[in-house]
Structure 1
Amino acid sequence: MRRFLPRPADTVDRSRSVDRFLARRLNEALARPAAQQPCWPDPEQARAVTRQLHHADPIVTPDETVRLSDRLASVARGEAFLLQGGDCAETFADNTEPHLRANLRILLRMADVLAHASGMPVVKVGRMAGQYAKPRSNIVDGLGLPVYRGDIVNSAERTPAARTPDPHRMPRAHANAAGAMDLVRKLCAGEVYVSHEMLLLDYERTVLWVDAGGPEPRLSSGLAHFLWIGDRTRQLDGAHVAFAELLSNPIGLKIGPGVTPEQAVEYVRRLDPHGTPGRLTLVSRMGHGLVRHLLPPIVEKVNASGHEVVWQCDPMHGNTRPSGNGFKTRHFDHVVDEIAGFFEVHRRLGTHPGGIHIEMTGEDVTECLGGAAGITEADLPARYRTACDPRLNTDQSIELAHVVAELLT
């Protein structure tokens, strides 16, 4: 049983009791401290835009999300593999059919390589149709301007006006995401699901259904099939974790070097209270030099809890470094080594290395070093186009798929 929650949480007091119960819990969750949120110049204007978005059409359907949940349960049981990838940060300017086609083409090619090697179904999830918000380490950039937080918040253009957070970008992000989702359905016929980081809570709280079909009433997001919590917003007492607890969508959680085994178990307890296989994906992003040391006790502790989570490796974010000529980059060999370490840990412990989560593009960019093409630091300026973090290009992505295919066999 699913009903649309059509109005802001603080105005649904005339709805049914389950709606009022969830509205109260939603208000309580969003009242908690929330990291990485923009400071809107006019908070009332931001609230007005958020109220407007509560009436927006959903981007995904509950039935699609349920199908993904079923497929992720297969991954958690060791019967399938999860491939998740796409742009670091989507932009309005690049939300074009050629760009989306190129990214989908590479995702599908990689999935074919992995499926052929493993003999298992590959669950395909794109970082697309909503990946418009980005967490940042600093609040200002090198010029003293407010940092770029993704097209849903401000512009990458380096002027004070462009960097000022603008809530009217949220409806633009929704419209762009809806258009991208239409193209995904047209080209992939339900074969690819969409995901983004659950970061900007003013946006995430808007398009919600009441989902009373599970063990307890929850909310189903109409903005994406799969949402993940980043390493910078995973505070156990924070708003992002509390909001994710209310959702029936499958949830991912990035776990970096600072996560202890005890914390990991607490995340699992909070985000998978009913022990649903595949409900939670734990995405390790340790860095290639740390994964073999830090991941085993986490896997052992979570496995001992009895929860069937999806174990996924993000080999990108723990391996980011500045190049000698001033570009943020990653080396292909470090990406490969972290994935290899991830597989080694799970093979040793008898658990399923369930997937990879990468930032890549179907375009011929020069953002990550190495690979068969031998991209060097001198090559980076030629086609460095990312809005935020460096992505694997077409050739590097396919090469990585063959590396992972060997690990799977």
Structure 2
Amino acid sequence: MSDDTGGPAEPRPARPAAQQPDWPDRESLRAVTGWLGTAPPLVFAAECDRLRARLAAVARGEAVLLHGGDRAESFAQTGVETIHATLRTLLQMAVVLTHAAALPVVKVGRMAGQYAEPCPPPVERRGAVELPAHRGDAVNGAEFTAGARRPDPARLRRAYEASAMTLNLVRALTTGGFADLRQVHAWNSGFVAGSRAGERYEALAEEIGRSLAFMQACGVDTRELGTAEFFVGHEGLLLDYEEPLTRSDPATGRSYATSGHLLRLGERTADPDGAHVGYLARIANPVAVELGPTAAPDTVLGLIDRLDPEREPGRLTFLVRAGAERVGDVLPPLVEKVTAEGALACWVSDPMRGTTPLAPNAAPSGRRTGRPDAALEEVRGFVEVHRALGTHPGGIHVELSGAGATACDGGEVRAADRDRRDDGTAPDPRLTHAQALDLAFQLAELYR
């Protein structure tokens, strides 16, 4: 881990910035961004470079990427139990994928920074009352009151502090014994007792345990299995947060976003001439780009030219969210065109967005629910496309709730639980722990 802090990078050129809050208190905003500009970095240049090297292995077909976490983090859910649950779910999924694919799994949590969301309508109307939309806890509150919905720059500092707490705990857990592969049985304790996924996992854990015992009996040093390499990423949406936390590495002179290892470019901010693309083009972090069902090859090539002009392996990851019915048509021309241009990118399935319609399986409350079977079909189509083209299906990006919130229909979820909101997070489709583990097993079968 690098111990450099560098200094703030140069400010961005004037470009149109989409999806930014209208901060009413500009003086308070200047004070907060000034504070962020001198705050310690949350991640370091060497860590970002290490992730880029790991993603380069994914792009070459030598590893698999597992990227997952909650749709939107909230300040109320930064406790130990929530972080434990998410990390444990991702570790279990990684074990399943590693065992099946016989490849290293690069683990990136969608956490420690996912406190802001894009919102298509800028306002929310309930009856005769109209208020600003909820843009995530880094901007305003979810309660439908004028006071809560007023964008508050002080929340940017709270987002930094919550991210720091989350990262500190993740680092302690992944290096302090919690992620020890020799404790593979303990990760399942109390999580999916009696579930199909839990039973399959226990059988796999028994097999891994026997293998480790054999290695130890042969005198093989297994101490390196006591830690796990883990990275974090989020959507780089709020430029008033990302830019003050950008630092220049004294050793190389390159600029890094120190808010997270991997920053994501959303579909709503992917204008090649926009401020978000301009910002991401200036930092050396690996960057993930969301590609929806309307993504055109020429548009994708334009983004590559802006974000990865040197065609550096590991720099770009494409999160494909085309939908189960369309992935077979949308994905091939994208992969073929990008490959022909010499860009070695990571291709990752993002099956949680294109397969979650509001109807007919919306819950009575109106909250959107998901269909794990449709997500699996999209992943299956994604893998089949890559097999047919001779390219590497690089991995999966999933929205999940390791604590067991029941946000998706089907799979391991009981019908009586479908409309329950038990953790206060955003009403979007997420996989439960059991569903996520079940999806990992089914994805593993596709990699065999």
Task: Give TM-score, length-normalised by structure 1.
Answer: 0.91
Q: Residue deviations 1:343-369, cap 9 Å, x none?
A: 011111111010111100112211111
Q: Does 1:156 align with 2:142?
A: yes
What is the distance in 2 between the residues matched to 1:213 and 1:305? 31
Aligned to 2:305: 269
Q: Residue deviations 1:155-201, cap 9 Å, x none?
A: 11111100110000001110010010001110112521011100000
Aligned to 1:202: 240
Aligned to 1:402: 441
Q: Residue deviations 1:297-330, cap 9 Å, x none?
A: 0110000001110001110111222205212111
What is the distance in 2 between the residues matched to 1:212 and 1:281? 27
Runs of 4+ in 1 over 6 A off after TM superposition: none
**Contact preservation (8 Å) 1:37, 1:200:** yes
Aligned match of 1:345 in 380, 385, 400?
385
**Contact preservation (8 Å) 1:197, 1:229:** yes
What is the distance in 2 between the residues matched to 1:136 and 1:312? 24
Aligned to 1:83: 66
Q: Does 1:242 align with 2:278?
A: yes
Q: Counterparts in 2 of 1:153-232, with a 5 A limit? A: 153-189=139-175, 191-211=229-249, 217-232=253-268
Deviation at 1:296, TM superposition (A): 0.6
What is the distance in 1 between the residues matched to 2:4 and 2:405? 44
What is the distance in 1 between the residues matched to 2:346 and 2:272? 20
Aligned to 1:293: 329
What is the distance in 2 between the residues matched to 1:388 and 1:171? 25
Aligned to 1:259: 295
Alpha-carbon distance change, 117 to 3 in structure 1, aligned in 2, over 3 angstroms: closer
- CA-based RMSD: 1.7
Aligned match of 2:419 in 348, 372, 381?
381
Specify the structure having the higher radius of gyration (Cα).
2
Aligned to 1:15: none
What is the distance in 2 between the residues matched to 1:4 and 1:185? 18
Deviation at 1:387, TM superposition (A): 1.9
**Contact preservation (8 Å) 1:3, 1:211:** yes
Alpha-carbon distance change, 384 to 296 in structure 1, aligned in 2, over 3 angstroms: farther
What is the distance in 2 between the residues matched to 1:259 and 1:402? 29
Aligned to 2:12: 27
The sequence identity of aligned pairs, in percent, is 48
**Contact preservation (8 Å) 1:211, 1:248:** no
Gaps of 5+ in 1: 10-22
Deviation at 1:379, TM superposition (A): 3.0
What is the distance in 2 between the residues matched to 1:331 and 1:219? 40
279-288 or 184-193, which moves further after superposition? 184-193
Which residue identity does 1:138 align to in structure 2?
P
What is the distance in 2 between the residues matched to 1:68 and 1:324? 39
Secondary structure of the corresponding residue to residue 132 of structure 2 = coil
**Contact preservation (8 Å) 1:361, 1:393:** yes
Task: Give TM-score, length-normalised by structure 2.
Answer: 0.83
Q: Residue deviations 1:337-395, cap 9 Å, x none?
A: 11111101111111101011110011221111111x2544x532234543242210011
Secondary structure of the corresponding residue to residue 295 of structure 2 = coil
Secondary structure of the corresponding residue to residue 141 of structure 1 = strand
